């Protein structure tokens, strides 16, 4: 009893302090279990990086032979000259619809419907090829708003659409810096931004699988991926669960690498009612380098715009049907920290259109990312290192939700200043699927047995949460309180060598990879020093290959261990062509 009283007092004090210090920017969050230093949107250390222009070109297509509006496809006869079409009697185009049958590996095309002037667009995914003197002179892929399989379903008044919009490699602060119009719009609408949202692993997969399945990616790979095919009966995706509840489901990305790309596994069947990926996968045929995953333009159109149009058309077609949709932008934000600037107006427009349509009044909108930028100059700065660990998570709830589920709403507002993880998003989605769980009296009783390790964001998340209680390795943990003790040069070299030795250990069994040697030490910091453990972060360069690595090394008495993954801060490009294992590629310099 006395103990809980003491805890209560501490909580109150911490909360008061939190508000004062967060507003002064000293801390991002400051709780009993986790203190995350604060940064302004643009600190001195990243100013020159953020001043650089986006590294992305405008999409242009000088050579267009065919064009479309929302209902038809027609030939631009004025382009004949530039296509050397001098015998019109041998010119024709071929219209084919296509779709993935069974699974995405199996794309099937219809027979050719010939035309040489204009043709109505009757299908969602269309391929056009034009011929002259029997040779192909033009090809393109088009997408039309012709979603055929709408399952009629009805909202219960307490149910909402769920719209999850992922933006790859986007930290919370980078979202504000690069997409100010969108972020201002959301702020006006009363968006809830989770300041202590901490990633749990290095790249997309370990951070997304907890959101999609409530399971770790390691577990999924071990237990549910058989011969590189994922068994989604064993590890059920969140959209399958929404489907069981009668929702229409949709999934899409603007890149083959995005959400559920074909990277480490494939899906045995078409995952959702509406699925953009067969189209995106086929468009690879337009490019010489079909393996590159981040093509930004299809002709004169950005791929991300294609994705946003797809999302909007779904909301139009499914106006009175409930929808769970998950979408992932990748082609712009993956490659450069300034690139998202070009998307700001389009995202703003999409969201304000959804607002004007009244769609947001019955929709839970979740904007999120998997992690911040993982390479380039920005991750070499303190701010960039922290931002890599703190992805965007912003949730917009309809006014009606706020008044219907008062306690749940109050809880999520408080959780803004708590340490949270992707597993919490999954738990929250389960609540939204089953809104009875959000009723005040139910929230009240569930709160009594709230778990420290993972929790719906609609329950009170305990302030004592720390990285170890939610399973986040020290290396990925943003709770550092700003403690950063420089260490002496001897200890520095010692720790740096421990890190390199650990990388070489990972490379054992890969004789095609060079053994790495320490070339440069950027810095080593002691970030935790209690009686039992010492935690160091170290940043080094190795040779050959010039890889820059960032690792967290823990000294437990005489034992030294690496926490989490060792991050690679610069690109390895083709240095690792001789290995396929994604976890090893980061370290391998081929002999
Ligand atoms: C892209 O096009 C816009 C509008 O035409 C123009 O303002 C901008 O300078 C162009 N950007 C580049 C990189 O060419
Ligand atoms: C699209 O273009 C076709 C052919 O030019 C035309 O007949 C049709 O009315 C246009 N549709 C719309 C919606 O503008
Ligand atoms: C093409 O569309 C027709 C309906 O117009 C449909 O019956 C057929 O299955 C489609 N073919 C493919 C490969 O999607
Ligand atoms: C693309 O990937 C495939 C399969 O991994 C490989 O065989 C092919 O050589 C690659 N092509 C290019 C251009 O890199
Ligand atoms: C959406 O909800 C707001 C606030 O509840 C209301 O003012 C607005 O009229 C609604 N919009 C539509 C299009 O229903
Ligand atoms: C994390 O919190 C748990 C209690 O939830 C506590 O036992 C543990 O010592 C804490 N770890 C650190 C590193 O503070
Ligand atoms: C790797 O890329 C470089 C330059 O991009 C090229 O010169 C080299 O031949 C490539 N090596 C391999 C093994 O593909």
Given pLDDT bands bounded at 50, 70 and 90, which one contains residue 557?
confident
Higher per-residue pLDDT: 17 or 199: 199
**Tokens 């390790």 — which residue?**
453
Higher per-residue pLDDT: 376 or 350: 350
**Strand locations in 133-207 (E):** 135-143, 161-167, 192-193, 196-197
CA of 257 from ligand 4 middle (Å) equals 15
Residue 167 backbone dihedrals phi, psi, to 5 degrees: -125, 115
Given pLDDT bands bounded at 50, 70 and 90, which one contains residue 2?
very low
Per-residue pLDDT reduced to its tens digit, 49-106: 999 999 998 898 767 899 999 999 999 999 999 999 999 999 999 999 999 999 888 9
198 neighbors 369 (Cβ within 8 angstroms): no
Per-residue pLDDT reduced to its tens digit, 321-349: 999 999 999 999 998 999 999 999 999 99
Q: Can you tell me which atom of ligand 4 is nearest the CA of 289?
A: 13
Q: What percent of the chain has pLDDT over 70?
A: 94
Average the pLDDT over 317-324 and give the result.
90
The sign one gets for the Cα dihedral 400, 401, 404, 407 is negative
Ligand (nearest to CA of 355): 5
Task: Give the mean pLDDT of the chain.
Answer: 90
- Say how far apart CA 589 and CA 577 lie, in whole Å: 9
pLDDT at residue number 274: 94
User: Which two three-digit tokens encode residue 80?
Assistant: 């004949």
* Nearest protein CA to atom 11 of ligand 4, as residue: 291
Per-residue pLDDT reduced to its tens digit, 393-405: 999 999 999 999 9
User: Which two three-digit tokens encode residue 141?
Assistant: 């892929």
pLDDT at residue number 263: 62
Residue in 98, 99, 146 to alter for ligand 3 test, most ligand atoms within 8 A of Cβ: 99
Higher per-residue pLDDT: 382 or 500: 500
Ligand (nearest to CA of 362): 5
CA of 467 from ligand 6 middle (Å) equals 8
pLDDT at residue number 436: 95
Q: Kindly tell me if the per-residue pLDDT of 389 is higher than 70.
A: yes
Per-residue pLDDT reduced to its tens digit, 12-45: 333 433 443 444 467 898 888 999 988 888 888 8
Per-residue pLDDT reduced to its tens digit, 187-196: 999 999 999 9
* Nearest protein CA to atom 9 of ligand 4, as residue: 291
Residue 105 backbone dihedrals phi, psi, to 5 degrees: -70, -20
For residue 245, give the 3-state DSSP assignment: coil
Q: Kindly tell me if the per-residue pLDDT of 384 is higher than 80.
A: yes
Q: Kindly tell me if the per-residue pLDDT of 495 is higher than 60.
A: yes
Ligand (nearest to CA of 571): 7
Q: What angle do CA 356, 361, 367 make, to 5 degrees?
A: 90
Ligand (nearest to CA of 464): 6
* Nearest protein CA to atom 4 of ligand 5, as residue: 399
pLDDT at residue number 23: 41
Per-residue pLDDT reduced to its tens digit, 276-294: 999 999 999 999 988 888 9
CA of 352 from ligand 1 middle (Å) equals 24
Q: Kindly tell me if the per-residue pLDDT of 482 is higher than 90.
A: no
Q: Is 289 in the pocket of ligand 4 (CB under 6 A)?
A: yes
* Nearest protein CA to atom 10 of ligand 7, as residue: 574
- Please list every protein residue whose CB sits less than 6 Å from any atom of ligand 5: 358, 361, 399
Per-residue pLDDT reduced to its tens digit, 435-473: 999 999 999 999 998 889 999 999 999 999 999 999 999
- Listing DSSP states for 256-307 in one string gives TTTTT-SSS-B-SS--SSEE-HHHHHHGGGGSS-TT-S---EETTEEHHHHH
User: Which two three-digit tokens encode residue 403?
Assistant: 């008044």
């Amino acid at each position: 009893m006395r103990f809980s009283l003491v805890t209560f007092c501490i909580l109150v004090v911490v909360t008061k302090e939190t508000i004062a210090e967060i507003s002064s920017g000293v801390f991002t969050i400051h709780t009993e279990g986790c203190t995350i230093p604060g940064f302004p949107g643009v600190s001195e250390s990243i100013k020159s990086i953020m001043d650089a222009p986006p590294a992305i070109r405008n999409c242009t297509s000088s050579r267009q032979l065919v064009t479309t509006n929302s209902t038809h496809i027609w030939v631009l006869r004025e382009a004949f000259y530039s296509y050397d079409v001098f015998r019109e009697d041998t010119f024709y185009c071929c219209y084919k619809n296509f779709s993935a049958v069974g699974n995405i590996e199996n794309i099937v095309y219809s027979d050719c419907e010939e035309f040489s002037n204009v043709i109505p667009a009757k299908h969602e995914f269309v391929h056009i090829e034009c011929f002259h003197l029997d040779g192909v002179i033009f090809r393109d892929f088009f997408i039309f708003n012709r979603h055929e399989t709408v399952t009629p379903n009805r909202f219960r008044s307490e149910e909402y659409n769920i719209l999850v919009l992922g933006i790859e490699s986007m930290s919370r602060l980078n979202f504000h810096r690069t997409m100010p119009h969108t972020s201002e719009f959301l702020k006006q609408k009363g968006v809830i931004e989770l300041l202590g949202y901490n990633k749990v692993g290095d790249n997309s997969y370990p951070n997304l699988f907890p959101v999609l399945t409530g399971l770790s990616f390691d577990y999924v790979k071990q237990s549910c991926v058989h011969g590189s095919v994922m068994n989604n009966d064993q590890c059920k995706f969140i959209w399958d669960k929404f489907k069981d509840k009668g929702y229409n489901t949709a999934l899409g990305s603007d890149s083959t690498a995005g959400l559920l790309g074909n990277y480490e596994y494939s899906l045995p069947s078409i995952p959702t009612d509406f699925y953009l990926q067969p189209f995106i996968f086929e468009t690879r045929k337009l490019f010489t380098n079909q393996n590159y995953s981040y093509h930004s333009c299809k002709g004169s159109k950005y791929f991300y715009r294609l994705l946003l149009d797809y999302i909007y058309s779904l909301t139009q077609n499914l106006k009175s049907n409930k929808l769970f949709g998950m979408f992932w932008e990748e082609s712009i934000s993956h490659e450069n920290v300034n690139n998202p600037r070009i998307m700001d107006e389009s995202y703003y427009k999409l969201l304000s259109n959804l607002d004007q349509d009244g769609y947001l009044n019955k929709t839970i909108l979740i904007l999120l990312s998997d992690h911040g930028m993982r390479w380039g100059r920005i991750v070499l700065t303190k701010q960039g290192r922290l931002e890599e660990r703190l992805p965007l998570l912003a949730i917009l709830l309809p006014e009606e939700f706020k008044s219907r589920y008062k306690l749940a709403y109050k809880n999520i507002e408080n959780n803004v200043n708590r340490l949270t993880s992707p597993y919490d998003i999954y738990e929250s989605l389960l609540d939204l699927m089953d809104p009875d769980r959000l009723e005040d009296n139910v929230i009240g009783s569930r709160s009594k047995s709230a778990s420290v390790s993972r929790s719906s964001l609609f329950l009170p998340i305990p302030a004592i949460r720390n990285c170890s209680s939610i399973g986040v390795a020290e290396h990925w943990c943003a709770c550092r309180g700003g403690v950063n003790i420089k260490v002496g040069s001897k200890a520095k070299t010692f720790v740096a060598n421990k890190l390199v030795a650990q990388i070489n250990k990972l490379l054992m069994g890969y004789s095609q990879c060079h053994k790495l040697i320490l070339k440069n030490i950027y810095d080593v910091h002691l970030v935790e020093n209690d009686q039992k453990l010492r935690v160091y972060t170290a940043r080094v360069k190795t040779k050959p290959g010039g890889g820059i690595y960032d690792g967290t090394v823990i000294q437990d008495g005489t034992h030294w261990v690496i926490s989490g993954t060792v991050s690679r801060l610069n690109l390895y490009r083709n240095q690792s062509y001789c290995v396929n294992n994604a976890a090893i590629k980061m370290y391998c310099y081929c002999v």
